[in-house]
Amino acid sequence: MRSIALAAALLFWTARAAGAQLPPNEHWRTLRTQHFRVHFTPSVEEQARRAAVNAERAYAELSTELVPPRGTIDLVISDNVDFVNGYATPFPSNRIVVYSHPPTDASGLRDYDDWNALVVTHELTHIFHLDRSRGIWAFGQAIFGRNPLLFPNLYEPRWVLEGLAVYFESRLTGVARRVSPVGRRSTSMAPCCSTTCRVRAVPAAFASSSRAVRRLRFPSFLL
């Protein structure tokens, strides 16, 4: 059963990234900040500069409570697909992709003033959480590099992964799914373990996970 769980976790995270590949033939530009390389195309430069500011602000605030991730984080702003939200992955490097289309009919996101800050903070929390490795896991990474099998927090339940991210997006942005009208309607944690990461499908589940993390005192989830 343990081997099945490991394989499932790896398949989930690699499928997320593979399902939304970035076009290599675009004219990509890079904006460098203290902790990020922000990659963007000319058409989304405004969103990219806003994301750079939001990312550094979120990094500074998250660093006061969580262990900062290793190295520079790649933050990609893309508009090649009609998605909202984004994704984060710790391999082969710490990387965040944010889709530049603001939400219009995604019920889980339409209530927020700064959608860019919300998504950047949410995905950056994933990077802080997933990059964290020590003990035998850190020893394995020292030998085999950033192998996707050697990130222990990838094997945690989905409600922990998403609950922690929603918990911090709520605290740091002030308005998020934990306190929005959509979030307040959710009382059950059961859907959290089986839903996908598409925001339009799971705002209530994310909100429930956030409340569970808050009750359980989130630092206990971190290695």
Spatial separation of the C-alpha atoms in residues 132 and 66, rounded to whole Å: 9
Q: Is 136 inside any structural domain?
A: yes
Q: Is 215 inside any structural domain?
A: no
The whole domain housing 21 covers: 2-156
Q: Is 201 inside any structural domain?
A: no
**Residue 117, domain CATH:** 3.30.2010.30
> For the chain, how long is the longest CA-to-CA vector?
48
DSSP-derived secondary structure for 80-139? SSS--SEEEE-SSS-EEEEE-PPPSS-TTTTT-S-HHHHHHHHHHHHHHHHH---THHHH
Q: How many domains does the chain have?
A: 1
DSSP-derived secondary structure for 137-178? HHHHHHHH-S-GGG-GGGGS-HHHHHHHHHHHHHHHHSSSTT
Q: At residue 4, what are phi and psi to the nearest 5 degrees? A: -65, -40
Spatial separation of the C-alpha atoms in residues 94 and 78, rounded to whole Å: 17
- What's the pLDDT tens digit per position in 109-147? 555 557 899 999 999 999 999 999 989 999 999 999 999
Q: Is 6 inside any structural domain?
A: yes
pLDDT in the model for residue 159: 85
Digitized pLDDT (tens) for each residue of the chain, 223 residues in all:
555 555 555 555 455 554 456 777 778 999 999 999 999 999 999 999 999 999 999 999 999 999 999 999 999 998 866 556 789 999 999 999 998 866 555 545 555 557 899 999 999 999 999 999 989 999 999 999 999 999 999 999 888 899 899 889 888 887 655 444 544 444 333 333 333 333 333 445 555 555 555 545 555 445 4
Q: Is 58 inside any structural domain?
A: yes
Spatial separation of the C-alpha atoms in residues 81 and 113, rounded to whole Å: 23
pLDDT in the model for residue 115: 84
First to last CA, the chain: 22
Q: Is 144 inside any structural domain?
A: yes
Q: Is 174 inside any structural domain?
A: no
Among candidates 174, 146, 190, which has minimal Cα distance to 13?
A: 146
For residue 79, the one-letter residue type is D
Q: Is 33 inside any structural domain?
A: yes
Contact call for residues 23 and 80 (beta carbons, < 8 A): yes
